[in-house]
Structure 1
Amino acid sequence: MNNLIDKIAWIHLDNNKILSTRSRGKNAYYLPGGKREPGETDLDTLIREELSITIIPATATHLGTFHAQAHGHADGVTVWMTCYTAEHHGVPTPGNEIEEITWLTYADRNRVSPVDQLIFDHLHQTNQLP
């Protein structure tokens, strides 16, 4: 059993809110992004996200890397979330396993996965998500 989940997340903030997604059958919200496939770079994974938008690779900026117990997995399974901001073209639209897209505030922190909670805390502490 693999005890590490390697994910890349797109951090998109607008009007004091952060874009978040909920997958079919899940009860928590997650930042948009995905698991890294073998041989992919961070940017490869970032631009393949599933919101029907086009990430502009030249604008990608590393925000930080966070780790926590993986939501919905056995104890000891950790998710490492490497986060980037980036400009994009298009309007985020649910696709594939994404059932819902929503904008959350820091007050919604309890509705997201444990690693996303750490990211919300970081954004709050740095005045990016009041």
Structure 2
Amino acid sequence: MSVIDKIAWLHLRDGAVLSTRSHGKDRYYFPGGKREPGETDAQTLLREIEEELTVALDPASLVHAGTFEAPAHGHPAGVLVRMACYYAGYSGTLQPAAEIAEVTWLTYRHRAQVSAVDQLIFDWLQAQGLLDE
């Protein structure tokens, strides 16, 4: 079993969650990315969010929301994504950069448009009363 180790930022506003779509992709994903060798969760998340969305997360505000696992979208069977999710405040203006084609706000009705691991997180957020229909 192969595991893709990812760190993601959960940013909610008015019952919707921030999501991104990369160039050439048909699914939305939570912003974040893969850890580089030796990086902590916080270092990975701060680097990835600045690269993808041009904003700076506040390291002192990072709160672990949960870790979720599901089959990896677009990979062979037996490949899992393990995603550690964090809430955090930020400064700057959200805008797509690097591989990001689109930044959008999604509610639970958009669940079918996200990857399998993000669907689990959508379910969890809705069960917590944080994500609108």
* Residue in structure 1 matched with residue 86 of structure 2 by the alignment: 84
* Residue in structure 1 matched with residue 74 of structure 2 by the alignment: 72
For normalisation by structure 1, the TM-score amounts to 0.97
* Paired residue secondary structure (1:48): helix
* Residue in structure 2 matched with residue 18 of structure 1 by the alignment: 17
For normalisation by structure 2, the TM-score amounts to 0.95
The CA RMSD over aligned residues, in Å, is: 0.9
Q: Which has the larger share of helix? A: 2
Amino acid at match of 2:65: L
**2-side partners of 1:91 and 1:17: how far apart?**
18
Give identity over the alignment, percent: 57
**1-side partners of 2:24 and 2:130: how far apart?**
30
1:1-130 aligned within 5 A? 3-49=2-48, 50-130=52-132
- 1:36-61 CA-partner distances (Å, limit 9, x unpaired): 11100000011012210000000000
Amino acid at match of 1:48: R
- 1:12-67 CA-partner distances (Å, limit 9, x unpaired): 00011100000011000000001011100000011012210000000000000000
Unpaired runs of 5+ in structure 1?
none
* Paired residue secondary structure (1:67): strand
Unpaired runs of 5+ in structure 2?
none
Once the two structures are TM-superposed, the CA of residue 91 in structure 1 deviates from its matched residue by 1.4
Structure 1 stretches of at least 4 aligned residues deviating more than 6 Å after TM superposition: none
